[in-house]
Structure formats: structure tokens, C-alpha cells
Amino acid sequence: MRLAAAANESYTASLAVSGLLGCHQCGGGRGQDEELGIRIPRPVGHGPSRFIPEKEAAARHQCSYLVNLHVNDFLHVGGDPKWLNGLENAPQKLQNLGELNKVLAHRPWLITKEHIEGLLKAEEHSWSLAELVHAVVLLTHYHSLASFTFGCGISPEIHCDGGHTFRPPSVSNYCICDITNGNHSVDDLQVNSAGNISVSDSFFEVEALMEKMKQLQECRDEEEASQEEMASRQLRKDDDEATPARDVSRHFEDTSYGYKDFSRHGMHVPTFRVQDYCWEDHGYSLVNRLYPDVGQLIDEKFHIAYNLTYNTMAMHKDVDTSMLRRAIWNYIHCMFGIRYDDYDYGEINQLLDRSFKVYIKTVVCTPEKVTKRMYDSFWRQFKHSEKVHVNLLLIEARMQAELLYALRAITRYMT
């Protein structure tokens, strides 16, 4: 792919340059630059991710590159640099999108057909329906991209804001790039070896999770075998329908994360029932009608992310992980107030532990607050590639949630 290739080139180039400068890892440490009186910028971190060791992170260039590409392309095609100074410098028509963008990014459940009407009926600054759908797709795409960037700790390129430092590169017996990168000095390693318990703890975490999945599967098999049980499930489902809001909030009560945010604003926001409006039956066709082919592409993207599996769980192979992946997807939709009547939400609490929920919630709702500690604390035995896989699920579920609210509001406006 063009983007990936270009990203690799620029990344290789920056490594080549840093290789000339000293520290074989970050390029710092020689001092000749100071002797010449030139301040040479050094990368703040090493490799494309602050969370993932460089040797494991090749696929992540694309993301930080895309952000640069977006600004650079804008300027290349003759875009007015003033627009980049703030929305108030952009044309009124674009400024009008600001409110929708804000609500979409932070509280999409508050989007109403009035938001849509305001954009479509703004006299000479009006958006057409097709333009608006196009804009919504772009906005939601970039919100999700931000989640991925922060969720994987993608570092800015050396020539971008925050991507370099002029600080002296060496601190005691290791380079500054090691500190930001999570590589450890001898002292740190001693601390770690004293903390062996945590390694075995994390081993048992995987075993416990596998055991829970097995139990849930067994329960499910039994349920499916019993007609009587099927009938009582239907009864339970009916009960759930009677009190949807309370049921959803139940899964977020232990911390300040999650559903509390959804209901905090003192107004009653009804649960979004997928049975009434879903991507497959409604959103997809609306997008396709107004923005031909793109509905299809987004649909494929959702399917790929949702169904992707390597059938692994940390060191275990040949595992059916569909239950776990579904729990992750539904947990995210749950945070946005989106509910599936045919799903037993108890599974979420059984399969996702607190540190994992904290990470998911932060990546999806406030991605800028994700820390390396959060990234490291969940699923400690899992591979980095599996955590990146989690991020793919998170960002697609987030994008679909935002799209569902925006498209439903458009549908309501149209009917």
C-alpha cells in the first residue's frame, strides 16, 4: 500500500539519520553536535509506538503517518494554512459542523434530528444530505483513528510536534530513549525480578479467563439443548425489555467509568435498541444511498474487524475467541447506550476484568488519557499483536456506535 510504503520509507530514513548520530537506538549521546554548536533533535521515543517494543511494531507506522499526511496533503493541494489555526478561521459552512463533531465525539447519544436540520437549513451555508453523510463518515473515522493512535501509544514522527527533544540523551547508565520506551536499566531489572509474583499472577489470569469462557460455553450448550430453558430465556428477555436503562447501567457501577457518563446529564436518554436501528439493516443502506460504495466499504471493515481471529489466547492456540470478542464489542456499544436484546450482559463482567475495562473505556471515550501503565496492566500475558487486535475491535465498534446515532438522526429528519 502506498501509505504503508511511504511510512516505512520515512521511518527507515529517520533511523538511518539517527544511526549517524550516536546511540544506536535513539541517535543521541555523542556530543559532537554540541561541539559544532548545532542542536540536533532526537526522537522522544523509539519506534512508532511508546507502548510496543520496536521489533514488534512494524504495522503501526501507517497511523502516525496518516495524521501527518492529512495536514501535509491539505497544504499540498493548496489548502489555506489559516484554516489549520482553528475552526473560526474556516468557512462558516465548516464551522457549522463543529457542534455535530463535538457531540458525535463525546456524547453521540445526544444527537437529534434538530442537529441535522440546523446543518441542512442554513441558507447559503447549508449542507446537502449527501455532503453531510460524507462529513459524518470522515468525522467518525478520525475519532476512531485518534483512539487507535492513543490506544497503541503511536509516537509522533521526529519532525512533528512532540516528536523530538533537545534534552541530553543519556541519563545514568541508560539512554533517555529507554525510559520512554519502557526498556529497563539494571536497577529496574532487579525490581522486576523481585516482582516475579506478578508474572505468575498474569499467567493465572489467562487460565482463569479461559476457564470462564469454557464455563460460559458449557452453560450456553446446556441452555440450547433445553427447550424449557429457551422459554425461560424469552421470559428474561421480556423482563429486560421492560427496564432497559437499569439493566445497562448495572455493568458499570463499580467505577466512575462507563454508563454513568451516558446517564449523568440529568436527562433521560433512552437506550438505543439495535433491534430498532442497526447498521446492517438501516445505517448501511442509508450511507450507500447517499454516498455510493462507501457503505459497502465500511460494512466490510466492520465485518473484518469483528470476525478477525488468530484463534490464540496468549500462549494458547486453537481457541474459539468469539465469545470474548463479542463481549468487547458489546461492552463498547453498552458505553454508548446501545443494547442488544439477545445478549446476556453478565458475560461482560465475567470476561472483562477491571483493568481491561479501564483501558477500553479510556481508549474509546477519552483516548488522550491513555497511559503506558494502562496498556501494560491489562492482559499481561497476551502478545502486543493481540492488544493491537483489541484496538481494531475498539475503534470499529466506536465508529459504528457514532455512525448509528448520526444516521438514525438523519433518518428521523428525513421521515
Ligand X SMILES: CC(C)C[C@H](N)C(=O)O
Q: Within a 10 A sphere around the Cβ of 246, how many other Cβ atoms?
A: 10
Binding part of the chain for ligand X, among 65-73, 153-161, 321-329, 395-403 by CB under 6 A, reads 321-329
Nearest to 368 by CA among 102, 163, 144, 151: 151
Q: What is the DSSP string of 58-92?
A: GGGHHHHHHHHHHHHHHHHTT--GGGGG-GGGS-H
Q: Is 324 in the site for ligand X (CB under 6 A)?
A: yes
Q: Is 390 in the site for ligand X (CB under 6 A)?
A: yes
Nearest to 178 by CA among 11, 9, 42: 42
Binding mask 337-366 for ligand X (x = CB under 6 A): ------------------------------
Q: Closer to ligand X by CB, 153 or 295: give it.
A: 153
Q: Closer to ligand X by CB, 252 or 382: give it.
A: 382
Q: Closer to ligand X by CB, 287 or 351: give it.
A: 351
Question: Nearest approach, Cβ of 360 to ligand X (angstroms)?
Answer: 11
Indicate which single residue of 321, 362, 381, 391 sits in contact with ligand X (rule: CB under 6 A).
321
Q: How many residues interact with ligand X (rule CB under 6 A)?
A: 11
Q: Within 13 Å of residue 142, how many CA atoms lie on the same side as its CB? A: 13
Question: Nearest approach, Cβ of 149 to ligand X (angstroms)?
Answer: 19
Question: Nearest approach, Cβ of 272 to ligand X (angstroms)?
Answer: 25
Q: Which three cell numbers stand for residue 33?
A: 553536535
Q: Closer to ligand X by CB, 150 or 379: give it.
A: 379
Indicate which single residue of 16, 98, 195, 310 sits in contact with ligand X (rule: CB under 6 A).
310
Q: Is 251 in the site for ligand X (CB under 6 A)?
A: no
Q: Give buried/exposed letters for 383-411 (b at 16+ CB in 10 A, else e).
A: bbebbbbbbbbbbbbbbbbbbbbbbbbbe
C-beta of residue 271 within 8 angstroms of C-beta of residue 245:
yes
d(CA 169, CA 178): 10
SS3 at position 27:
coil
Question: Nearest approach, Cβ of 382 to ligand X (angstroms)?
Answer: 7
DSSP letter at 238 equals H
Q: Is 32 in the site for ligand X (CB under 6 A)?
A: no
C-beta of residue 196 within 8 angstroms of C-beta of residue 65:
no
Q: Is 207 in the site for ligand X (CB under 6 A)?
A: no
Binding part of the chain for ligand X, among 3-11, 51-59, 297-305, 382-390 by CB under 6 A, reads 382-390
* Whole-Å CA distances, 157 to 42, 56, 65, 164: 11, 18, 8, 8
C-beta of residue 52 within 8 angstroms of C-beta of residue 154:
no
Binding mask 275-304 for ligand X (x = CB under 6 A): ------------------------------
Question: Nearest approach, Cβ of 74 to ligand X (angstroms)?
Answer: 34
Show Cβ contacts of residue 390 under 8 Å, excluding neighbours closer than 6 positions.
328, 360, 379
| DSSP H or E segment with residue 273 | strand 272-273
Binding part of the chain for ligand X, among 59-67, 240-248, 261-269, 311-319 by CB under 6 A, reads 311-319
Q: Which of 63, 177, 334, 365 is catalytic?
A: 63
* CB-count exposure of residue 132 (10 Å: 0-12, 13-18, 19+): buried
Binding mask 74-113 for ligand X (x = CB under 6 A): ----------------------------------------
Q: Is 309 in the site for ligand X (CB under 6 A)?
A: yes
Indicate which single residue of 312, 350, 355, 366 sits in contact with ligand X (rule: CB under 6 A).
312
**Is 152 marked active-site?**
no
Q: Is 386 in the site for ligand X (CB under 6 A)?
A: yes
Nearest to 22 by CA among 183, 171, 170, 164: 170
Show Cβ contacts of residue 209 under 8 Å, excluding neighbours closer than 6 positions.
313, 324, 351
Question: Nearest approach, Cβ of 386 to ligand X (angstroms)?
Answer: 4
Question: Nearest approach, Cβ of 136 to ligand X (angstroms)?
Answer: 28
Question: Nearest approach, Cβ of 245 to ligand X (angstroms)?
Answer: 29
Show Cβ contacts of residue 86 under 8 Å, excluding neighbours closer than 6 positions.
none
Enumerate binding residues for ligand X (CB under 6 A).
Answer: 309-313, 321, 324-325, 386, 389-390
Q: Catalytic residue numbers?
A: 63
